[in-house]
Amino acid sequence: MAVSTAGEIPVRVADAEQSCGSGRVLAILSEVESMLTRLADSGTCGSIDLRNLLAGPGDRETLRRILAEGEVSAVVRALGETQVHETAVRGVWWVTHCAEDGKTVAEFIEVTHVPEILKTPPDDIADGLEVLFAKRHALDG
């Protein structure tokens, strides 16, 4: 077939359903299941770093589709946005850390009651107190 423009190059986007990645997705799901069992039995939290696990095109989409959206979503704005979603599997959270330009820098599945990033660290609470003190001081004149 003669091709004269870039648009004519036949490109087929890999199909997530049929990609060879299904084995990888199944392996992640089975690890999530063990972690969720531990959380239910003993309260032990777990975390899976997705960086090296979703290697194939379509893996991420497949895993997201299977876990689906749950009841809670939150956005943390610290050095760029961090998106925190509880999946439809309660206790299983999808945490995506992005930089300020929106690029993903790390991605985790956290099996926990509340992801750490949503809790305020003690140092930041101390900062909060200072800020509040300064605001009140300004009002007092």
Partner 1 sequence: MSKDDSIEVSLRKQGISRRAFMKFCAATASLLALPPAMAAVIAETLGRARRPSVIYLSYQECTGCGESLTRSFSPTLENLMFNVMSLDYYETLQAAAGTAAEAARHTAMKENWGKYLLVVDGAIPRGHDGAYCTIAGESAVDILTGAAKGAAAVISVGTCAAFGGIPHASPDPTGAVPVSQVIKDKPVINISGCPPVPEVITGVLAHYLTFGSIPELDHLGRPKVFYGDTIHDRCYRRPYYDAGKFAKTFDDEGARNGWCLFELGCKGPITYNACATVKWNQGTSYPIQSGHGCLGCSEPDFWDKGSFYQALSTGTWSGGTVLGAAVVAGAAIGVGAAVVSRRRQARADRKKQP
Q: Which residues pair with 106 in a beta bridge?
A: 97
**Residue 141 identity:** G
The side-by-side arrangement of strands in the sheet containing 81-87 is 46-49, 104-111, 92-98, 81-87, 69-77
- Binder among 26, 27, 88, 106 for partner 1 (CB under 8 A): 106
* Helix, strand, coil share of the chain (percent; to 5): 40, 25, 35
Among 121, 131, 133, 134, binds partner 1 (CB under 8 A): 121
Taking the least distance from each CB to partner 1, the nearer of 54 and 71 is 54
Tokens standing for 125? Answer: 């609470």
Residues 39-98 that bind partner 1 (CB under 8 A): 47-49, 51-52, 55-57, 76, 78-80, 82, 97-98
Least spacing, CB of residue 59 vs partner 1, in Å: 8
Phi, psi angle pair for 38, to nearest 5°: -65, -40
State the nearest-atom distance from the C-beta of 65 to partner 1, in Å. Answer: 18
Residue 130 is a binding residue for partner 1 (CB under 8 A): no
3-class DSSP state for residue 76? strand
Segment interacting with partner 1 (CB under 8 A) among 25-33, 85-93, 106-114, 130-138: 106-114
Task: Specify which residues 110 forms β-bridges with.
Answer: 47, 93
Summarize as ranges the residues that interact with partner 1 (CB under 8 A). Answer: 9-12, 14, 20-21, 47-49, 51-52, 55-57, 76, 78-80, 82, 97-108, 116-117, 120-124, 127
